Structure 1
Amino acid sequence: MPHIKAYKQNEIIVKEGDTDQKIFVLISGTVAVYKNNKKISEYSNEGTILGEISPILNIPRTTTLKASSDTELYVYDYPIDELITLHPDFAIKLLKTIAARLVEATEKII
């Protein structure tokens, strides 16, 4: 099961380059995403999945996540294969999240 962690406004959740494999789900608050110290996105919808790229690809963090306000997150701190096996519904939500972000990124390019 995930645990709940609270972050204060402006607190770093993960840093670009970190090697942890946690995945986060937003409970409340707002999380900003930074690439090379430039804010590229922000999320405030309950249930938003964050930090999924590194565990899926088994690479260091590609972005920094920072709490833009006081924030609570579910933290899944076990291997992605185990997460998907234990929570198959999470896998479907994860696929939908990735697809939606791909569409969003494509639209920004065009």
Structure 2
Amino acid sequence: MHTQFCCDAKQKRSSMSSSYRPKGYGVSPALRRAREPYRIRNGVTGGLLVAFAVSVWAYSISAVKQDNFDDVDALALDQRRNTNTASSTQRSVRTSRLVALY
């Protein structure tokens, strides 16, 4: 008797699986009906996520457009000059030490 219950459950499961998931890549009518209540909610959620992503992108682009980057070039040039001056000073100190050793 227990074996009969086990086989009946397997048969029910396989018949349900075959009704919702047909062989291949198709979608059965039963699966379409089961998904129908969630279609609108999923569409609204997807639309909200896309709207949020686009708004963050638009805000970041508008924020960057407002910035003034004129001082960045001046700072970079000053830093480059300071680095070149420091490195040339270090080179001259090393050279003078090497000359003093010989």
User: TM over 0.5: same fold?
Assistant: no
Which structure has the bigger radius of gyration?
2
- From the two aligned structures, give the one with the greater helix fraction: 2
Q: Return the structure number with greater relative CO, CA threshold 8 A, min gap 6.
A: 1
- From the two aligned structures, give the one with the greater strand fraction: 1
TM-score calculated relative to the size of structure 2? 0.25
